[in-house]
Chain A
Amino acid sequence: MNGVRLPEGLVAIVKQDCPTCHLIVPVLTELAAAGLPLTIYSQDDPAFPPGLPVVDDTELEVSYQLNVETVPTLLRVAGGAVVQRTEGWRRDKWEDLTALTGLGSALPDYRPGCGSRTLEPGIAETLAARSGVTRLRSRNVAVGALEDPVEACFERGWSDGLPVVPPTPERVLRMLEGTRRAPGEVVAVVPPDYAECTVEKAAINAVMAGCRPEYLPVVLTAVEAACTDEFNIHGILATTYFVGPVVIVNGPIAGAIGMNSGVNALGQGNRANATIGRALQLVIRNVGGGRPGGVDRATLGNPGKYTFCFAEDEERSPWEPLAVERGLRSGTSAVTLFAGEGSRGVFDQQSRSPESLARSLAGCLRTVAHPKLVRDYDALIVVSPEHARVFREAGWSKARLREEIVRLLTLPGAEIVRGAGGCAEGMPEEFARGSWPKFLPEGLLFVHAGGSAGLFSAIIGSWKNGAAGSRPVTREVRV
């Protein structure tokens, strides 16, 4: 056993706030008087029991090390190891352990003990953290006892602008309970500093974001997916364009951790949605070193750069889930990352045919980036239940809808070339002839989410697509 070396002979652990401990004071006095080697540890008051030599264990170091659950506990230690143990007051056991007879003759034969202070709420976690701290490798930052730790985090530049939860060792150890992965395992190399992000560093940032431990596997997967060459978080961070990582969660983990895919799915109010997206951004900020005004050069950015994370409503969807469409087995928990700007609304309360609704979607999708720019930008379309119903009732698959939108948005070159329609922006001269699809088929992603009422959908435009920019990345969540 590590820690304190135990004294040989008898060891008693007591606390002043325990009637049974008070009851057995005469017994302890007898043992001391008999000249037996006796060490008494007091959990709450070094002056208790009065008149006997007591070792202060108000820090509970010895009690925790001995895994004491009840006081009084009496132990016999030989060769540094506990060889006998009894809890509460039982005359026969105490006599057996001390090899004395007639102990506490004025006392009842039996009296149960009280709970050890090590088991009190809050204390138990703190002690676990103290003993587990050796597992952690991150630098300890001492914050003065009178300093507000939330303010201390702001001052050190660790925050995205909102208060963070101070990453104490206790909280980080609790967070690490959310994964079987070792704290030292490297999850990803995070741009722009290209620094290794360990499970521990991700956990620290997840604590700060406000995550619960069960969200951690999703956070780790999001970090992994973001730091791939395909997703190119470096470029997404550095660009003057609006985008940030949008996290879409599929599979059983979404429900298991209480994510929102329903009412206000893209909005505020759900802890998992809010904090998973934020944790990813804090990892990029703190581990990657990517900060606005530093490598983040966004002209305007978008509010989703605080956090942008939601789950797909798979149950009511007419279509296969996004992650399944992108190659994962059905029932797999997965994260898909999309380089997205803010969402914009599509209003259509009249269409009852898929052809008509596809035209509404196409009309709104045309404005992604610019109505006269084609091919360079993707779009994530969040189709709400009431709009999805129109496609379900008509038997339209995702593929069918995608094909229709690509067809509707195949635009005449004469209309989109620079200068056309009195607008200087547009495609270069070589696009003047023929027709050009606004979107590549693989550049249109559909997800089903939202409240059951409302004939609205949402469009989230992307950044430069393809190998030269960012491609969506889907990864399985490992617990």
Chain B
Amino acid sequence: MTDQILLDPTNERAPQPRARAPRPATLAGVTVGLLDISKPRGDVFLDRLAERLSARGLRLERYRKPTFTKPAPVDLRHEIATNCDVVIEALAD
């Protein structure tokens, strides 16, 4: 008996796992990105974090996605990756 052939309904991609960037041993001298995804009260959370982190003398960059319902625009992702060493994202409302 021979095999039956089915046609693959998927996009046939093989995901390539990539390792996360290593956690910095210390926050001294790093630039922290604070990303608001435009969900309600994300700003409240990030404002408070900004206060705490500034008090520790860290350099901060604030970012905002145009809407939480769509992926961050490529330019925004690139800007964050270029300017920041670590990022904190406020996800939920």
Contacts and interface: CB of A to CB of B under 8 A. Distances in A.
Interface string B1-19: 1111111111111000000
A193 B13 contact: yes
A166 B6 contact: yes
A186 B41 CA distance: 40
Contacts of A190: 11
Nearest to B7: A138
A236 to B, nearest CB: 8
Nearest to A208: B9
A262 B92 CA distance: 42
Interface size bracket, B side: 20 to 34
Contact of B3 (A145, A195, A464): A145
A297 to B, nearest CB: 11
Interface in A158-210: 158, 166-169, 172, 190, 193, 195-197, 200-201, 204-205, 208
A240 to B, nearest CB: 9
Interface in B1-52: 1-13, 38
Contact of B7 (A141, A145, A197): A141
B71 interface: yes
A205 B69 contact: no
Nearest to A136: B7
B39 to A, nearest CB: 11
Contacts of B71: 234
A166 B66 CA distance: 42
Contacts of A144: 3-4
Interface string A229-253: 1001011001100000000000000
A467 interface: yes
Contacts of A143: 3-6
Interface string A265-305: 00000000000000000100011110000000000000000
Contact of A193 (B2, B7, B8, B11): B11
Nearest to A146: B1
B7 A468 contact: no
B70 A232 contact: yes
A139 B7 contact: yes
B54 interface: no
Given A239-B69, A469-B69, A287 B9 contact: yes
Contacts of A201: 9, 11
A168 B4 contact: yes
A140 interface: yes
B67 interface: yes
Contact of B9 (A147, A204, A234, A464): A204
A358 interface: no
Contacts of B7: 136, 138-141, 167-169, 172, 200, 204
Interface string A387-418: 00000000000000000000000000000000
Most central of B1, B9, B69 by chain A CB within 10 Å: B9
Interface string A122-151: 000000000000001011111111110100
A205 B4 CA distance: 18
Given A234-B70, A470-B69, A141 B6 contact: yes
A139 B4 contact: no
A152 interface: yes
B10 A467 contact: no
Contacts of A235: 67, 69-70
Contact of B5 (A141, A153, A208, A468): A141
Contacts of B68: 468
Contacts of B69: 232, 234-235, 238-239, 464, 468-470
Contacts of A169: 5, 7
Contact of A168 (B6, B8, B12, B66): B6
Contacts of B1: 145-146
A451 B66 CA distance: 44
Nearest to B69: A235
B3 to A, nearest CB: 4
A172 B9 CA distance: 11
Contacts of B2: 145
Contact of B67 (A142, A196, A467): A467
Nearest to B5: A140
Nearest to A144: B3
Nearest to A198: B11
Contacts of A149: 4, 6
A129 B61 CA distance: 59
Most central of B2, B10, B13 by chain A CB within 10 Å: B10
Given A146-B1, A229-B70, 8 more contacts: A139-B7, A166-B6, A167-B7, A169-B5, A193-B11, A195-B11, A208-B9, A468-B69
17 contacts: A139-B7, A139-B8, A141-B6, A141-B7, A145-B4, A146-B1, A167-B6, A168-B4, A168-B5, A172-B7, A197-B11, A205-B9, A208-B9, A232-B70, A234-B70, A282-B9, A288-B11
Interface of A: 136, 138-147, 149, 152-153, 158, 166-169, 172, 190, 193, 195-197, 200-201, 204-205, 208, 229, 232, 234-235, 238-239, 282, 286-289, 464, 467-470
- Of all A-B residue pairs in the complex, the 10 with the closest CB atoms, nearest first, are A235-B69, A195-B11, A145-B1, A468-B67, A139-B8, A142-B3, A286-B9, A138-B7, A204-B9, A141-B6
